[in-house]
Structure 1
């Protein structure tokens, strides 16, 4: 307590004899990204600093992250639209004082590479307030590719361009973007790199096939678990004797697996479906052996076990993390009894919602209707109860890719790839907000904590 009082007293004395001030501000232009701006500010003493900025003729103020406890501050503006004029001001502050720079301006330029157009086609008037200041992450698979964040108007507010395609992207709790990168020639949404970047573009993790422990390409999914480990679906292969059905004694079957890397990039766990299925049980294996069963999403549950979706089986597997055992299979010829009308086909994005329900996008290749489905699973009695079913109109049918998730608990967010659209519906399927995409999106995620909060300057001076 005495030490805290002494520090506060010293700060008060310094504020009197050497008031806090901002000595200089430099804007560093970054030609490789037209929506990102780097600033350096020098203060006469160690303190905290932040930038507030706003568009011309607007009262809506945005803030950067806070640079803390130094006299040499690096600050990033990472949320802008193009082309737009902005004003900004740097605020330096400590426990007792606040100093302001002069107001200055900068201008964003039009984006011209690796980003498509996102057109707001429709928004329900009653939904405008609810979706205001919501942000969404999606990606461009073709080369050059990009990870893209848009706002509720469909404006691009952040992007990161890559020479390779961004096969899938994911927003983490650390405010970073996790991507699979790969050339267009790599099939099945596959890539040979996993990269994690923060909003300033700084690379936090970079895994590459042939370097370190990454010995296989990954595809369709990359995420982080609660421990900060990175997990993904991998391509895998195994030698089988298929001579009894017209193959060779040493025939290669290509399947899928799961891999987990720790924070240091070391492989800590691996699993393969080729250890759990007999290819001789599939009468079409000679036709399918180059891409057998086709996994397309993986999700780590709170108990540590994995949900893995297999498009060609119309099944979702629950895999024990400790043993690798398949605990149950849900779907066609699975372990659960459920309504025949709710059987799904070629599904994507199997995950557990905040309501503890298993949710999927049913692409619906058997009947030409794409649906959002959510189930409550009774694992004791092996029965599944349908809790959500939204059937989309036929013009939104998507044969491949896509995803679905809850939005604000009582609404649903969709990405449908064939119609190239992102939209939100109510629980009856009525469209409330629709973005048309001039590109080929694989998924869309609502992202949280994208905006930096306004610092509590008054509290810091108490």
Structure 2
């Protein structure tokens, strides 16, 4: 799908709400690069990101060097390098809000030589949206983190959007959905884009009716609305994109007036190519005692099959992506033998971590009012699980619903205590390394090593 920014560029200087063009110039004096023009595109939904378009007389690679106007050029940041072509659209990130910036175009030759061309130019970044300033208070969230990556927050309150925090606790990127809509969840894709579930209908649960794939620079890559093509059921809680660009999502199902869960696979054109339902597994149902299994997370395993967390069952299933057969069930009354001390309750965010173990956020309940982080080494041949991590979070981090947990590259654990609005880094003994706080619940959070592709 043609990106929003590309469309606006084609009608340069035509007024469009929310889009600003600045700094148009022409430079025919530089023989090394023959820079013809540059201009800046800003958008109110991405206040800490900017597009800079530049054109050369001949094809070449390019990048942008930029720095706050009040600071020294020696501390400048640079964009990623673009491909060889005449016309470039380069995205720059991690801007400070409401700040004047200087920038230069850099011509990159075939042998990698970088030459600054044209004049120093300028733009002004936008303001962080009010929903984010109300949700995340900068002076309460100061970090000293050694890991170089970023933390993606998915807030659970409305109004909301998405944002990334850097290793100092500062907001590095943020995105707001269209007015009167809400982000339900989001995942990074194998392409480095974001797949976002959006709700246009004020659904009180975790359901959405729009699947949007976008770059961090705001370029729309795909957009599917429920009721169009093969997207015939609402999506709830989670979805992933596979290496072929297919979207795999948890859906709501109905059978004999009973609610269930399903999986739908949409290809890159929005056509349905596979589906599955929990009713194919739950063949004996007593309506008097039945509860929806309540799928709340889905990941694509290393063998391309699906790992799905079912909250109401206190189980994690592995489902064959071709046959729909349930390969194993980990948890209460499951098919995998596991230690009784590691039985989990109403879990979220089940996945295979970097150590090849099945990891999850064990929410707990009134009968056991504390949350844990668990991981299991699972022998899929013998269907036996050995507990690898059994970490109890502090009492004030108990979250009966939602939440996430993942293993960080340094061996520590990142946990979103959803209902307390806390993101915690803890060591494997449970000792807190740092905490970030929000004003209302966090649906989930993840560590992203290199979101900007530099």
In the superposition, the TM-score normalised over structure 2's length comes to 0.86
Are residue 171 (structure 1) and residue 188 (structure 2) matched?
yes
Contact preservation (8 Å) 1:369, 1:397:
yes
Aligned counterparts, 1:38-437, within 5 A:
38-55=51-68, 56-57=70-71, 59-95=74-110, 98-115=115-132, 116-119=135-138, 121=140, 128=144, 130-131=146-147, 133-162=148-177, 163=179, 164-183=181-200, 185-239=202-256, 252-278=257-283, 280-281=285-286, 283-285=288-290, 288=291, 292-365=292-365, 366-437=367-438
- The verdict on how the C-alpha distance between 1:393 and 1:107 changes in structure 2, with shifts beyond 3 A counting, is same
Distance 2:275 2:61 in 1: 44
Deviates more, 1:52-61 or 1:148-157: 52-61
- The verdict on how the C-alpha distance between 1:42 and 1:122 changes in structure 2, with shifts beyond 3 A counting, is closer
Contact preservation (8 Å) 1:120, 1:154:
no
Query: 5+ unaligned residues in a row in structure 2: which ranges?
Result: 1-29
Q: What is the SS of the residue equivalent to 1:199?
A: coil
Q: What is the SS of the residue equivalent to 2:407?
A: strand
Q: What is the SS of the residue equivalent to 1:395?
A: helix
CA deviations over 1:225-274 (Å, ceiling 9, x no partner) = 222211110000112xxxxxxxxxxxx10110111111222111111001
Q: Corresponding residue for 2:22?
A: none
Distance 1:308 1:100 in 2: 52
Measured on the aligned residues, the alpha-carbon RMSD in Å equals 2.3
CA deviations over 1:268-287 (Å, ceiling 9, x no partner) = 111100121145347523xx
Distance 1:210 1:442 in 2: 26
Q: Corresponding residue for 2:443?
A: 442
Distance 2:42 2:302 in 1: 43
Which structure would you say has the larger RCO, counting Cα contacts within 8 Å and 6 or more residues apart?
A: 1
Distance 1:336 1:228 in 2: 32
- The verdict on how the C-alpha distance between 1:173 and 1:380 changes in structure 2, with shifts beyond 3 A counting, is closer
Shift, 1:54, TM fit: 2.6
Distance 2:76 2:116 in 1: 18
Deviates more, 1:379-388 or 1:294-303: 379-388
Distance 1:184 1:417 in 2: 23
Deviates more, 1:315-324 or 1:367-376: 315-324
- The verdict on how the C-alpha distance between 1:428 and 1:226 changes in structure 2, with shifts beyond 3 A counting, is same
Contact preservation (8 Å) 1:121, 1:434:
no
Contact preservation (8 Å) 1:357, 1:375:
yes
Q: What is the SS of the residue equivalent to 1:138?
A: strand
Count of matched residue positions in the alignment of Structure 1 and Structure 2: 417
Distance 2:279 2:447 in 1: 34
Contact preservation (8 Å) 1:118, 1:435:
no
In the superposition, the TM-score normalised over structure 1's length comes to 0.84
Contact preservation (8 Å) 1:62, 1:452:
no
Deviates more, 1:385-394 or 1:24-33: 24-33
Shift, 1:299, TM fit: 1.4
CA deviations over 1:360-399 (Å, ceiling 9, x no partner) = 1000113011011000112333321100111011100001
CA deviations over 1:159-180 (Å, ceiling 9, x no partner) = 2211311111111231211111
Shift, 1:294, TM fit: 1.1
Shift, 1:305, TM fit: 1.5
